[in-house]
Amino acid sequence: MAVIQFKIGTNIFYNEEEYQIKGYPSLDEVLIKLTKKPFNEKVVKVSTLIKEPRNAHEQSKELVDISDKDFEKALEKYKIIEPLLTLEKRTAKDVKTVAKIHKKGVATLYRWLDAYETFNTVSSLSPAYKNCGAKGKNRLDKSVEAIIESAIDEFYLTKQQYPLSIIYMKIVEKCNNLNLEVPNKNTIRNRINILNPKIVAKNRKGVSVKDTRGMPGQYPEVKMPLDVIQIDHTKVDVILVDEETREEIGRPYITVAIDVYSRMVYGFYISLEAPSYFSVGQALLNAILPKDDLLKMYNVAGEWPVFGLPRAVSMDNAKEFRSISLQKFCSEYRIKDIYRPVARSHFGGIIERLVGISMKKTHLIPGTTFSSVEKKGTYDSAKNAIMTISELEQWYTDFIINIYHKTVHGTIHMTPEEKLYQGILGVGDGTIPFLPTVPSDTLKLRMALLPASERTVQKNGITIDYITYFSETLRKWIIPAEYKKLNKNLKSNNVLCRRDPRDISKIYLYDSDIDNYIEVPYADIRRPAMNIKELRKSIAEAKKEVTGRELEQHDIFQAYNRLFEYSEKAKREQKTVRRQKSSKKHMQKTMDYESKILKSDIVLNVNNKELIEDDEDGYEYYPVS
């Protein structure tokens, strides 16, 4: 996935024509000039430039198309050329000096520089493989990942201080017992190396996290907007109601990010589901992209000018922030991930202050739970609840841009909005010196922030959590049994599948041949759509009924139908059921909106669209409506 840097003098594509950036009329606009006759100039929104034509340049390497091993090699290359990228006027002598230090060819360094400056992503320096998840891939099975995580917790993070050899021996033993492929020893070493040093010190050596102050050398200096952002979750102090029945459904969660320099709210995500990697991903998606479409969706008047890729993100040590997927996402875009010291909450003081201010404002909303039982008194929160989750999103957006951003902050002694403009405009001649960096393809950005899992393509399709997905487009990955017999050394035909937790009726596969995603539905498209929480409950329900054999797909859907019928027959729904149904409706509403703004993207729908092409490899592509 390429990245757009809005530097004056650089070329950019708009409406499939090449323009050159001449200046910045505002914080979300650029002045561009056509590079060929009649050399017309125009002012366009940043949000219209984050989608480049497919034939603008060579096919970009996709984040999901790179194995862990290849990504590590790409990082090594990036670290070698990094000093050259920061030079304003790079000379041949500079390149030769770096080549000599690292014992690399000058031509090799120029090739790496060209690749990186074309796409502005670390993955652009990786070896090129034809198909996502095919030959050369080295991702681990989910069961193996679970064994590694368990072994590290049980044997490494202990005062017994077991060495790596013992930990690896335990992992090998457990993998062999389950007939799983044993991971490489270096993989385990890499997993240990990314552990928070504070956690290691506390658990292996018994050092109190309060014995040292902070994490010297790891928290970067904040000089400009987006140098560092902080992100965290909390439960909102207000009870919501269902959008249709208006019955109370409980308190939602909010994931919110703030720009440390300006104190501007960078982005947020509100959900009825507990915090997860998906919550973090959606908050980052909201934050990175320009907010024009978002303000239209919520029908809120005002400006929210902060957007773009941050240079560092500060998080606590919760599981959702420690996911491999998030760490890889940060590495891809050169975002430094900073984990706050354990039990030192003041390191996240800026985001904590924002959360505190926000929660105090929610105490003015009917249905608030206040911050304590003492303050709540005899107030009946459930009885007074009136606000839906969509209305809360609208309320919070309005509060952010028209109150919080325009209120003088006690620490910076000006409003966050003024501080942002100060950082962007500087103290020079009053012109805007730069605009933030943004990914060039919003679809791929959205996909990169969805949970992923690796699966093998079988002749009947791909199975995840007992559910089988199939379309004709999968045939390119299906290896005939006869061919496998003739080629015993043939590697597995694994692919990386992405699935939206809000709707698991389809999965997405990246196809490097067309540089886009393929949408693969249920093998039986008559089955009802469900979200991930409903799937988990259906699996648990099916396991109660099925004994003496393995679960099958129809068992899951039968259990889902039973659970649905129970809720429909109930004379008065319980709050938990209403909460689940309301959450599902809100998810669907959000997904419908995303589909609407992404209708120009080429997502291959293989469900019930008209066939437009049958290529020479024998698989078919369909257009999106």
How confident is the chain (625 residues) per 10-residue block, as mean pLDDT? 74 79 80 82 77 44 58 82 82 87 83 77 65 44 79 84 88 85 85 72 66 46 87 92 85 94 93 89 91 89 91 83 80 81 60 89 89 78 89 93 92 90 70 77 84 86 92 83 59 79 91 82 91 90 86 89 74 63 80 68 46 42 40
Residue 217 lies inside a defined structural domain of this protein: no
| 148 and 278 belong to one structural domain | no
Regarding whether 77 and 177 lie in a shared domain, the answer is no
Contact call for residues 582 and 497 (beta carbons, < 8 A): no
Residues 449 and 589 reside in one and the same domain: yes
212 in any annotated domain:
no
Look at residues 125, 157, 179 and tell me which one is the last residue of a structural domain: 125
Asked whether residue 135 is assigned to any structural domain, the reply reads no
Residue 458, Cβ density class (10 Å: 0-12 exposed, 13-18 middle, ≥19 buried): middle
What does the alpha-carbon distance between residue 153 and residue 204 come to, in Å, rounded to a whole number? 11
What pLDDT does residue 392 have?
93
Whole-number Å distance between alpha carbons of 184 and 188: 7
Burial of 167 (0-12, 13-18, 19+ CB in 10 A): buried
Q: Are residues 91 and 26 both part of a single domain?
A: no
- State which amino acid sits at residue 76: E
The verdict on residue 211 lying in a domain is: no
Domain final residue pick, 406, 438, 470: 438
Query: Can you give the pLDDT at residue 139?
Result: 60
- Residue ending a domain, among 438, 454, 488, is 438
Mapped onto helix, strand or coil, the DSSP state of residue 500 is strand
Tokens of 295: 């303000």
* Pair (403, 420) in one structural domain: yes
277 and 350, same domain (yes or no): yes
Task: Note whether 522 and 503 are within 8 A (CB).
Answer: no
| Structural domain range at position 250 | 229-438
Tell me if 560 is assigned to some domain: yes
C-alpha span between 44 and 1 (Å, rounded): 22
List, in sequence order, every residue forming a beta bridge with 620; answer none if it has no partner. Answer: 614
Asked whether 378 and 253 are in contact (CB, 8 A), the reply is no
Amino acid at 172: V
User: Pick from 433, 437, 411: which is nearest to 422 by CA?
Assistant: 433
